[in-house]
Amino acid sequence: MNELLVGYARVSTEQQDLTAQRDGLRALGVGDDRIYVDHGLTGTNRDRPGLRLALAACRAGDTLVVTKLDRVARSLPDARDILDELTKRNVKLSLGRLNPRSDRPRRTVVVQRARDGGGVRIRPDPHAHP
């Protein structure tokens, strides 16, 4: 089965525009039919229909793509919960802009479990070119 890229975009107010995020997701290889959005919903509210659909669309081996971490989570505990859910389902999370020398995202988020209960650490993608 082919691994898919599933995109998620969010803006907090009805007056904000999703165009830049949609364009960024397309540039990262996400097809229009795989981009899920929440318009006018704050990131502090985890009950977001677009996020729920994006998470549901991800299968084992797929990658959830967002342009910035704050589009999917507004706090470290929320980010950790989402990453834990994705990790349990073998779904990767990709952040950010393209590396100009590669079609791979510049960063990936890695859940680093520490003895004190874990945390989120962002580190360079080992496959990206400098």
Active-site annotation holder among 12, 75, 94, 102: 12
Q: How far is 30 from 66, CA to CA, in rounded Å?
A: 10
Domains of the chain: 5-124 (3.40.50.1390)
Q: How far is 70 from 4, CA to CA, in rounded Å?
A: 22
Q: What is the value of pTM for the model shown? A: 0.72
Is 12 in the active site? yes
Where is pLDDT greater, at 11 or 114?
11
**pLDDT of 88 higher than 50:** yes
pLDDT, tens only, 31-78: 999 999 998 776 666 778 999 999 999 999 999 999 988 888 878 888
CA distances from 83 to 39, 56, 105, 128 (A): 22, 14, 17, 21
The mean pLDDT of the chain is 77
pLDDT of res. 99: 36
Contact between 93 and 64 under an 8 Å Cβ cutoff? The reply is yes
